[in-house]
């Protein structure tokens, strides 16, 4: 594995866990994050403290730089100074619902910011680019499980549209400038140090504070809840196996997940979806408190069910980790209660 890895969104949920694992492996990691205020900045700072402390204890090479992807000059200077061989772009304006209120934030960070990363990868000849896409790109698709070979031409949120734009931009840069790139379609990642704007954190807080939980589509929803450790282990494997052209690519019947150039797209999700009601029940059991349920109609920009097909990534990597929802929720609850002093 290369010893020069740049991770954007290093103070974010997935970015933090990935950087932690890379530091523990003794690798040189350059972390970038703008520490924006979309959600609790103290949570991000606490994540960074852990990375800094780990670096001090291990005497490893960890560098953190507080910068915004929108700052093209700063990005160019960082790439020039550190010359990373591998880039993992996890920085993004996250959240489906917030994209309905503030679409420009998504255009700025997820498209303009990502284009700056692509330009840096082009100029400095990066050997392997991995970037966060999302299961949200499947949008209005109703065929499950969601497969990378399915068309994704009907996004239902600005967030999803920006992520699909990332996939198209990455493919074009891969083709024109020979940048091996892999798009990672994450499915509802959860676990310790998770994002406060996502269901596990919102539900846990509401249950413990005896506040009603908003349950959309009257609870008739399911998700491929994917444990953070599984995601990180999969990314580590992808770091070691850059994309290559598909020798069997058929341009008359193109496979959307591969290409004639070094470009791939993979789902990273739990193949066993969990009903929303079951997920809430597991939280109730672990927290020892009943939830107050408030049932509501389907929310604009949301999808009813997600389910990941892992055929493509298993073919690429072999076996991948798959933590059960029971084990994952238990781990999340333990961290939540410790961190928030419950």
> Which residues are designated catalytic?
159
Pairing, β 274-275 against β 222-223: antiparallel
Q: How far apart are CA 93 and CA 259, in angstroms?
A: 27
Q: How far apart are CA 28 and CA 61, in angstroms?
A: 5
Which DSSP symbol is given to 191?
A: S
What is the CB neighbour count within 10 angstroms for residue 334?
12
What is the CB neighbour count within 10 angstroms for residue 143?
9
Helix boundaries (H) for the chain: 13-24, 41-58, 72-82, 96-101, 103-106, 114-123, 158-177, 199-208, 228-239, 276-287, 311-317, 325-339
Q: Which residues contact 75 (CB under 8 A, 6 or more apart)?
A: 67, 69, 116, 117, 119, 120
Both tokens of 99, joined, read: 């994209």
**Phi then psi dihedrals of residue 78, to 5 deg:** -65, -45
Q: Which residues contact 193 (CB under 8 A, 6 or more apart)?
A: 13, 16, 17, 43, 47, 228, 335, 339
Radius of gyration of the chain (CA): 19
**Cβ–Cβ under 8 Å, residues 312 and 146:** no
**Phi then psi dihedrals of residue 174, to 5 deg:** -60, -45
Q: Which of 165, 149, 148, 199 is nearest to 302 (CA)?
A: 199
């Amino acid at each position: 594995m290369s010893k020069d890895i740049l991770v954007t969104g290093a103070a974010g949920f997935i970015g933090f866990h990935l950087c932690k694992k890379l530091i523990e492996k003794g690798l040189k990691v350059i972390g970038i994050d703008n520490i924006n205020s979309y959600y609790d900045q103290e949570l991000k700072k606490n994540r960074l403290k852990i990375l800094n402390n780990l670096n001090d204890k291990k005497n490893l090479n960890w560098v953190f730089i507080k910068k915004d992807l929108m700052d093209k000059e700063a990005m160019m200077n960082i790439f020039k100074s550190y010359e990373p061989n591998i880039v993992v772009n996890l920085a993004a304006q996250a959240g489906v619902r917030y994209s309905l209120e503030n679409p420009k934030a998504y255009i700025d960070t997820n498209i303009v910011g990502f284009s700056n990363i692509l330009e840096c990868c082009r100029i400095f000849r990066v050997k392997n680019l991995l970037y966060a896409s999302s299961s949200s790109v499947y949008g209005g698709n109703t065929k499950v499980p969601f497969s990378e070979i399915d068309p994704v031409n009907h996004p239902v949120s600005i967030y999803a549209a920006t992520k699909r734009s990332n996939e198209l931009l990455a493919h074009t840069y891969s083709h024109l400038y020979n940048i091996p790139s892999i798009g990672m379609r994450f499915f509802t990642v959860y676990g310790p140090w998770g994002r406060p704007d996502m269901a596990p954190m919102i539900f846990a807080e509401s249950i413990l504070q005896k506040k009603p939980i908003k349950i959309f589509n009257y609870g008739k929803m399911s998700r491929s809840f994917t444990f953070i450790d599984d995601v990180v282990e999969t990314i580590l494997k992808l770091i070691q196996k850059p994309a290559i052209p598909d020798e069997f690519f058929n341009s008359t019947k193109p496979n959307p997940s591969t290409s004639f150039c070094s470009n791939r797209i993979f789902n990273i999700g739990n193949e066993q979806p969990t009903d929303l009601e079951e997920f809430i029940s597991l939280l109730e059991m672990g927290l020892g408190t009943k939830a107050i349920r408030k049932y509501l109609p389907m929310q604009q920009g949301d999808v009813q069910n997600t389910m990941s097909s892992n055929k493509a990534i298993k073919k690429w990597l072999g076996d991948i980790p798959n933590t059960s929802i029971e084990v994952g929720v238990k781990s999340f609850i333990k961290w939540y209660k410790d961190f928030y002093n419950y």
